């Protein structure tokens, strides 16, 4: 997962995830479903992405929001590390849904539906609370989520709408 933000302006946070449709992005500060706007990684020509680098294709230096000439940017790049972090996806079922195979019990998760408008949820095992990253709401206690030894379980349609496509980033406390 790559999150890019222009430092010199007010453009949106652009989020690239391997589970999104080709050249699509999500906006970290928005509830919009994944899209392919003209001023994102697609127009910017995101090049090869691997475990250590990402880049832009030749001639993509004028792309707004991710690679405009003369502007400063910051990029946060995440990948799965066995026993510590997992970047993945799942399909919601609207009922009890066990997401397993992480290889560790996560303590912090960022999750978001990609195929429809939704909030970015940050779920924390230490305080048993969640925040909605794109809103200014206070943190709230959850009763629909459980951290398990190999993943997490959702017990309602929250972050689990039937047929919905979701991405997540999970971390273990080090």
Q: Residue range 13-17: average pLDDT?
A: 84
Q: What is the tens place of the pLDDT at every residue in 92-148?
A: 999 999 999 999 999 999 999 999 999 999 999 999 999 998 888 999 999 899 999
What pLDDT does residue 174 have? 74
Q: How confident is the model at residue 61 (pLDDT cuts 50, 70, 90)?
A: very low
- d(Cα 77, Cα 98) in Å, to the nearest integer? 26
Q: What is the pTM of this model?
A: 0.83
Q: Are 125 and 115 in contact (CB under 8 A)?
A: no
Q: Are 34 and 120 in contact (CB under 8 A)?
A: no
The answer on pLDDT for 54 being more than 90 is no
What pLDDT does residue 164 have? 96
Burial class (CB in 10 A: 0-12, 13-18, 19+), 83: exposed
């Amino acid at each position: 997962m790559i999150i890019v933000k222009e430092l010199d302006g007010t453009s949106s946070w652009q989020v690239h995830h391997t589970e999104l449709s080709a050249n699509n992005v999500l906006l970290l500060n928005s509830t919009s479903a994944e899209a392919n706007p003209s001023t994102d990684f697609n127009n910017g020509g995101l090049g090869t992405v691997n475990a250590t680098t990402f880049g832009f294709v030749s001639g993509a230096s004028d792309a707004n929001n991710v690679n405009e000439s003369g502007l400063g940017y910051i990029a946060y790049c995440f990948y799965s590390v066995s026993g510590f972090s997992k970047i993945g996806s799942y399909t919601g079922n609207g009922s009890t849904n066990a997401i397993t195979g992480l290889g560790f019990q996560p303590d912090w998760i960022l999750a978001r539906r990609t195929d429809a408008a939704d909030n970015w949820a940050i779920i924390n095992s230490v305080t048993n609370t969640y925040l909605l990253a794109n809103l200014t709401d206070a943190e709230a206690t959850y009763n629909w989520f459980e951290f398990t030894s190999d993943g997490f379980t959702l017990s309602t349609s929250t972050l689990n709408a039937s047929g919905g496509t979701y991405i997540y980033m999970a971390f273990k406390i080090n």
